[in-house]
Amino acid sequence: MKVEQIYTGCLAQGAYYIVSGNEAAIIDPLREVKPYLERLAKDQVTLKYIFETHFHADFVSGHLDLSHKTGAPIVFGPTAEPEFDALIAEDQQTFTIGDVKIKVLHTPGHTLESSTFLLIDENGLETAIFSGDTLFLGDVGRPDLAQKAGELTEKDLAGMLYDSLHSKILPLDDSITVYPAHGAGSACGKNMQKETVDTLGNQKRSNYALNQPDKESFINEVLDGLTAPPKYFGMNVAMNKSGYESFEKVLKKGKNPLSVEEFETAAEETGALILDTRSAAIFHKGFIPNSINIGIKGDFAPWVGAMIVDVQQPILLVSDEGTEEEVITRLSRVGFDNVLGYLEGSFDAWKNSGKETDQIRRIPADQFADEYSDELNIIDVRKETEFEAEHLDGADSKPLANINDWSPELDNSEHFYIHCAGGYRSMIAASILQARGYRNFTEVDGGFSAIKKTGKFPLSNFVCQSKTL
């Protein structure tokens, strides 16, 4: 038997590849299925089942493409209602892969169909659980994503999650390995550990959610501090439930090189969003007016999902040459399939053609320190938890994820400075603000990390607080 965790850091997502004998199973595959097909061919095994722990919200699964290419059936837990052919398992039903078995444990709470898959080895020993978004390392799945209007509240779902954990997961042996669907950085939880594999026994000792004295305390603690889920979550659930265009078609359509003239015409005729995926350090020096910068070298896909409201939004790409396929692939993972093409020759082609360009004023932290005073307007776009842990005295907390809420309140007649932790998120914010007509601001290179390293700010200018989750 072989169990391989296939972890994708930019999504903080874990897929699983299980082989026994000449058969295999894959749990929660990503959108692009070529890596799985290559593993199957290399191991000379047949894919027998594709298991889905639930209808994912934060990424588009590869279950449909993988099933079409291999003929393997897709397995969901009880109560799932996909709009395509699938096996809807019963609670406690077992599936055989080679010499091992996978038992379905229905664990509603994160969603109603959420299920945990228990791996039973060749000797009949329960060895691992693939817990999806039911149990994370250090946390549990958020129960505020799946309620049906008028029927269930997030408290109802949190109560279901408590019952699922206490009736199906906690009675299992401490030695069992826990393989979750996500790790630190995912928006599906609030307190996840950086590790991606652990024992159930250690989670019983260290996971705050598993150590609440009663059901009411569990509900209160799990719901406390949850921020609004990204807007694309619901659209990804719909795609995973109803179906989507094949990845190959999405990639073929997106890998469409456009000349400067074709690019400009497409932007004007379609109303496409111009997404510039170059680094912030390069972008701010010159870009196509009204472009939005979300760098590919960062948490690209989640921020695209958080910033762009509609997955059907037409997109035109400006990317470093040679990265176009990677960008289109990562966009497709979160359901943004409507890429119309990319600018051939990248931004240099646009600039060399004599077209209009724009810039963002960015200054180093040392210069910001020289300009700093108590009267400055400073916007900190980090998460609230980051701001509460430590921030520049006098700064206003305005998280990037909420930019659509706070940007209309800005006074364009008053200059302000904007920063995040390292410069990635603040450049996203700066590009959005400038595209919306705000120009009276300065972005700080290197963010809060660089500001602290200058040593030019007295300690009294930083407020340290602590927060217990």
pLDDT tens profile 40-79: 999 999 999 999 999 999 999 999 999 999 999 999 999 9
Contacts of 347 (CB under 8 A, 6+ apart): 276, 278, 286, 287, 288, 318
Q: Which class in CATH covers the domain with range 245-352?
A: alpha beta
Do 362-464 and 245-352 fall under one CATH topology? yes
Q: DSSP for 419-447, please give it.
A: E-SSSHHHHHHHHHHHHTT--SEEEETTH
Q: Tens digit of pLDDT for each residue in 300-316?
A: 999 999 999 899 999 99
pTM: 0.92
Count, in order, helices (H) and strands (E) of the chain.
Answer: 17, 24
Domain 362-464 has CATH 3.40.50.300: no
How is the chain split into domains, by residue range? 2-234, 245-352, 362-464
**Cβ atoms < 10 Å from Cβ of 284:** 22
CATH code, 2-234: 3.60.15.10
Q: Tens digit of pLDDT for each residue in 97-146?
A: 999 999 999 999 999 999 999 999 999 999 999 999 999 999 999 998 87
